[in-house]
Amino acid sequence: MRAAAVVVLSLLSCGSAFATDTPRPTTTATPSGASATPVKHTSLKACNKQADAKSLTGPARAAFVKNCRGGKPSS
């Protein structure tokens, strides 16, 4: 009898431990009019094409591609 009570209590305590592990929501609320998709950064391929078009090389090219990927305007 006592062993059965211990088993029942242990099962109940395990169940409550799992019950507290609720999954977090995967979406967040957005203000009205805002896009639900995240902003995508310019691809490396597109930035490299732009750097080729400007005939950039070395550190100037690296800085341009970094700024391009980050969405910063080029100077």
The DSSP line for 26-55 is SS----TT--SSPPPPPPHHHHHHHHHHTT
Q: What is the pLDDT along the chain (75 residues), one digit of tens a residue?
A: 777 777 766 766 665 555 556 666 666 555 555 555 555 667 899 999 999 999 999 999 999 999 999 888 765
* Pairwise CA distance, residues 28 & 69, whole Å: 25
**Over the stretch 14-26, which tens digit does the pLDDT of each residue have?**
655 555 566 666 6
**Locus of tokens 């242990």:** 10
SS3 20: coil
